[in-house]
Structure 1
C-alpha cells in the first residue's frame, strides 16, 4: 500500500497546476476576521470534494470509512453534475448554487469576447481574479454574515469572487499530502472560538489524476480511492477527538470518469480550422464553436449537421436540451458559443498530433451515467441511515446555508426543498 500511495503522490504532479514552479505554500490569513457571538453558536460544516470520485467508487472499491460514515448519515444514489461535467465549472456550481452558464465558469478554458481575454484554469492570474466568477461562494456568504471560513484548494478560494475571500486559505498547489491537509483542517478547528472557522472547504485531486492517467477501472484508481478514504477517516477521528459540538461533514465530487476511445478519435470538421471565420474550443468531450459572423451561424450549422457522423451530435446552442441549462437563453456571460459538437461516449474529438488521457469526463450525465458524482453526509444535523435519490449538485449550496443559519442574499438555481429531507427536525 505504501508503494501505491507514494506513486499516487507523484502522479498528481502531472496536472496543470503542478506544472507551475516556485509555488507558494504559505497560508494566507486575512486580519481582523472573527465570529460574531451568534456565529459562535452555529454548527460547523466541513465540505470535502474528491475530484473525479465517481458515484460508484465508494462501493466499487470498498471505501470502508466512507461507507461506514454514510451508513450513519446520508448517501445519495448519485449526484448529477452540472453540464459540462468538468472540474472548474462544477466546483463553482457546488460552492455557489448556480449552473455554469449562470456563474460564468463554463469550462476549464474559455474566451470572453466582451473582455477580449482568455481564462485558463492553469493561469494563476485568472484563477485568483474574482471578476471571472459570478455568484457568492459559501465562504463569502459566511464571512459577510460574521462567520469565519477557511478553504484548502477549492476552486476560486484564492480569489476575491463575491467580494470577499475566506479568512484562511492557500493559493492552489498540490504539494500537500492528504494527511497534511487533514492536519491543517484540525489545526483550524483548534483555534479560539472567535477565530475558529465554521465553514471549511477541502479538496482532494487524487482520484481524478488516477482516473485520467490510467482509467476508472484500474488498480491505480482503487489505490487513490483508498488514499482519500483513509484521509477522511483520519479527519473524522481527529475532529471527534477535539470534542466540538455539532460538526457536520459533506463529501462530494464534481463529476465521474469513463475510459474513452483515444485510439480512434473523431476528426474535427475541416471547415472549423478557418480562423478568419471561426474559433473553436475543444475539451475533447465537448467542442464549442464561435462563429465570427453571426449571419453565418445557421448556414454553418446546416453544413456541420449534414456532414456529421453517427458518433456525435451537432446543436445550435439555443436548441440544446433545456435541462442542461447551457443554451443561449442561459448564457449570462456570452462565453459558450453558438454551435456545439457533442461526441457520443466513449468518443472524443482530438486534433491531429495531440494526445489525450485514458479517462475523461465532460459528457452529459443524463446520457452517460459514468459522469455521475458522489454525495455523502453525516453529523448531528443529518438524519441517520437515509438513502436519497439522484439530485442536481446546485442544491448543495442552500443545504449548507441552512445548516449554518446563513441567509442567501441573491438568486441561486439550487432549492432547499430538494435536500431538506436529509436534515433532522426538518420536513
Structure 2
C-alpha cells in the first residue's frame, strides 16, 4: 500500500512538473508585457509623501511591489538595463560598466550610449526580447540600452545620441509612420544634446508607445524613460527638482497606462515598472588617478595603471604585466586610505558581486573601488589633491548595491498579478524570468527566478 501511495504521489509530482514545463514553453500570443524603466527612480520615492506619484502607487496597490530591488554592481545604467532583460549578472551578460578600459591603448571605450557596438557584439546571453521574438511573439524597444541593431526587436529605436542615430538604426517604416502622425521624431537627435531635453524625450517615447499599441500591438515592449536620472545628477536626490521629475515620470506612466487600453491585448497586459539604481547625493570628487600619478604609474608618455570612473564605483586597471600582482597589492593598500573610500574590492570580493575577472573577460579591471555616499569618482589626474569639493552639489550612482538609497523600484501590475503583494527586498535578476513566465517563454540562461509570490496561477 505504501509503495502504491508513493508511486501515486511520485507520478502526480512528475505530471505536475511536466504540465508546468509545457505551460511555460507555450508562448502566449494573446498577452503583452510592458517593461518601463524609469532611470534613477530610487525605491525610497515610492513611500515618500513628498513624491507625487498617484499612478505608480495605484499600480502597486493593485499589484505587487518590492520593498527595494538590489541591482547589479556597479549600479549604473548600461549593466543594469542588461540585467533587467537577461536575468544575469555583468559577469555573464558582458556589459560590465558604462564603459571599460582597452588595455592595449589605455583608453576608455564607451558602452553608453551605444556609439560603437551593436547589441550582439556586447550582450553575451539571450535577452527576454530574443526568446520572445524566436517564439513568434512581437517585440518592441524604445531607447533600451545596449540594443543597437537588435535583430530580435521588431519595432525599435536605439538609446543613442545625435541626429543620425534613429535614421540609421531605427525601424524605418515605423519612423515614417510616426512622422505621418505628426510626431517630431526628427527632432530627437537635437533633444539628446539639450539641457532638459529629457522632458521632451520622455513625452515623445510615450507617444511612440501609444502608436505601437494602436497600429502594431506588441507582446513585449521595453521602454526607457530618462528625465529623473538627468535631474538627480544635476540637483541631487530628494531635491525640489527631483520631486518634480518623479511627478513628471508618473504622468508619463499614466500615458502608458492609457495607451495600453488601445491594444487588442489590453485585458491581458502586465505592466512592469522598474528602475536601474537608486541615487546618492554628492559634494566631493575622488581623483584616484592623482594618486597613481604621484606613484609614478601615470606619466605624460605612459600609463602603467588607470582608474576609470563609474560614478560611485571605479575600475582599477593595472597595465604593467611585468609587475602586475605587486602593483595590485600596492594600490589596494594605498587606495583604501583615500578619503571617501568605502571598499577596495579584489577578485575574491567583486566576483561575489557578479563582476568577472580579467582572465574571464579581457575588459574587466583588476580591482574595483566603491565610494561612500557624498563622494563620486572622476578620471582626472590634474593637481595634487586626491579629493576635491565639487563646485555644485549633485547626485550619482554606481555604488555598492545593497544600501537603502541605492535600491531600485519594482512594481508589477495587471494581468496575472496578485493584488496587494509586498515582495520584500528582491534581486533585479528576477525581473526577466518573471516576464518570461508571463509570456510563456523559456529563458534558461537566467540566474534569477520568477517572482512566484506575485503571480496568479495560469
Q: TM-score, normalised by structure 1?
A: 0.80
Q: Secondary structure at the match of 2:101?
A: strand
1:165 Cα deviation (Å)?
A: 3.1
- Note closer, same or farther for the CA distance 1:206–1:104 as it changes in structure 2 (3 Å cut): same
Q: Does the CA contact (< 8 Å) of 2:313 and 2:400 recur in 1?
A: no
> Please, which of 422, 425, 436 is the counterpart of residue 387 of structure 1?
422
Matches within 5 A, 1:112-151: 112-113=102-103, 119-122=109-112, 124-128=114-118, 130-151=120-141
- Note closer, same or farther for the CA distance 1:248–1:132 as it changes in structure 2 (3 Å cut): same
Between the two proteins, the alignment pairs up a number of residues equal to: 377
1:267 Cα deviation (Å)?
A: 4.8
Deviates more, 1:331-340 or 1:354-363: 354-363
1:372 Cα deviation (Å)?
A: 0.8
1:405 Cα deviation (Å)?
A: 0.6
Which ranges of structure 1 fall in alignment gaps of 5 or more residues? 1-37
Q: Does the CA contact (< 8 Å) of 2:74 and 2:310 recur in 1?
A: no
Supply the distance in 2 between the matched residues of 1:84 and 1:104 (Cα, whole angstroms): 13
Q: Secondary structure at the match of 1:152?
A: strand
1:251 Cα deviation (Å)?
A: 0.0
- Note closer, same or farther for the CA distance 1:306–1:146 as it changes in structure 2 (3 Å cut): closer
Supply the distance in 1 between the matched residues of 2:105 and 2:129 (Cα, whole angstroms): 27
> Please, which of 143, 146, 154 is the counterpart of residue 153 of structure 1?
143
Q: Secondary structure at the match of 1:273?
A: coil
1:129 Cα deviation (Å)?
A: 5.0
Counterpart for residue 447 of structure 2:
413
Counterpart for residue 206 of structure 2:
182
- Note closer, same or farther for the CA distance 1:144–1:115 as it changes in structure 2 (3 Å cut): farther
1:327 Cα deviation (Å)?
A: 4.9
Counterpart for residue 10 of structure 1:
none
Deviates more, 1:195-204 or 1:290-299: 290-299
1:144 Cα deviation (Å)?
A: 1.1
- Note closer, same or farther for the CA distance 1:125–1:216 as it changes in structure 2 (3 Å cut): closer
- Note closer, same or farther for the CA distance 1:303–1:155 as it changes in structure 2 (3 Å cut): same
> Please, which of 190, 215, 229 is the counterpart of residue 208 of structure 1?
229
1:116 Cα deviation (Å)?
A: 9.3
Supply the distance in 1 between the matched residues of 2:448 and 2:203 (Cα, whole angstroms): 32
Deviates more, 1:230-239 or 1:306-315: 306-315
Which ranges of structure 2 fall in alignment gaps of 5 or more residues? 1-25, 162-187, 192-199
Q: Secondary structure at the match of 1:341?
A: strand
Matches within 5 A, 1:34-113: 41-60=29-48, 61-113=51-103
Q: Does the CA contact (< 8 Å) of 1:305 and 1:314 recur in 2?
A: no
Q: Once the two structures are superposed, what CA deviation does each residue of 1:326-358 show, in whole Å capped at 9, x if it has no partner?
A: 2529x7423221122332222233324797871
Q: Does the CA contact (< 8 Å) of 1:58 and 1:67 recur in 2?
A: yes
Q: Secondary structure at the match of 1:126?
A: coil
Counterpart for residue 194 of structure 2:
none
Q: Indicate whether 1:251 and 2:283 are aligned.
A: no
Deviates more, 1:341-350 or 1:309-318: 309-318
Q: Indicate whether 1:318 and 2:347 are aligned.
A: yes
Q: Secondary structure at the match of 2:158?
A: coil
Counterpart for residue 362 of structure 2:
334
Q: Indicate whether 1:398 and 2:433 are aligned.
A: yes
> Please, which of 286, 294, 305 is the counterpart of residue 313 of structure 2?
286
- Note closer, same or farther for the CA distance 1:335–1:71 as it changes in structure 2 (3 Å cut): same
Q: Once the two structures are superposed, what CA deviation does each residue of 1:69-95 show, in whole Å capped at 9, x if it has no partner?
A: 110001110111100100111001101
- Note closer, same or farther for the CA distance 1:364–1:122 as it changes in structure 2 (3 Å cut): closer
Counterpart for residue 399 of structure 2:
363
Q: CA RMSD in A?
A: 2.7
1:238 Cα deviation (Å)?
A: 3.3
1:171 Cα deviation (Å)?
A: 3.0
Matches within 5 A, 1:293-312: 293-307=320-334, 308-309=337-338, 311-312=340-341
Q: Does the CA contact (< 8 Å) of 1:317 and 1:326 recur in 2?
A: no
Q: TM-score, normalised by structure 2?
A: 0.75
- Note closer, same or farther for the CA distance 1:147–1:358 as it changes in structure 2 (3 Å cut): same
Q: Secondary structure at the match of 2:306?
A: strand
Q: Does the CA contact (< 8 Å) of 1:88 and 1:108 recur in 2?
A: yes
